[in-house]
Amino acid sequence: MHAGDWVDVALLDQVEKRSRTLLAVHGNNDHGTLRERLPEVARAEIEGIRIAVVHETGDKKGREERCAARFPDADVLVFGHSHIPWDTTAPTGLRLINPGSPTDRRRQPHGTFVTAVAEDGVLRDVTFHTVPR
């Protein structure tokens, strides 16, 4: 999964070649061919988990409620934009995950990415990994 800001179409090409399946969206820094090839919102069901991916979710204040209203049919929402690692659950049960960024850490002490296991309708072992500088 990739929640946007690819910036370079060559990166998308490389990741697609290495992926059996890629669930990805464009970000606000993606233009031209990237916007043509990638949707604003991507959805898939993986091992019984309904997943949505989007780049922007707006301000962190009220994010859980706003996203739960926008994605009522999702169990997990993966998002990007802020590059800030995030893992919370809305009152409705929607889990919101932002993996951060392995390449543009912004105000974070290090780059990050996330791994998880989807199995039998459960998302488990969600782990944030740091990228060495």
**Measured distance CA(24)–CA(14) in Å, rounded:** 13
Mean pLDDT (whole number) for 5-29: 96
- Measured between alpha carbons, how far is 61 from 3 in angstroms, rounded to an integer? 20
Name the pLDDT band for 103 (thresholds 50, 70, 90).
confident
What are the beta bridge partners of residue 128? Answer: 114
Rounded Cα gap, residues 16 and 72, in angstroms: 29
From 78, 63, 67, 130, select the one nearest 101 (Cα to Cα). 130
pTM (2 d.p.): 0.94
Domain boundaries, the chain: 43-131
Distance CA 99, CA 108 (A): 12
- pLDDT greater at residue 106 or residue 111: 111
Rounded to an integer, what distance in angstroms lies between the CA atom of residue 39 and that of residue 20?
Answer: 18
Q: How does the average pLDDT of the chain come out, rounded?
A: 95
The answer, yes or no, to whether residue 13 has pLDDT greater than 80, is yes
Residue pLDDT, tens place only, 46-59: 999 999 999 999 99
Does domain 43-131 correspond to CATH entry 3.40.50.300? Answer: no
Q: What is the pLDDT of residues 18-39, one digit of tens each?
A: 999 999 999 999 999 999 999 9
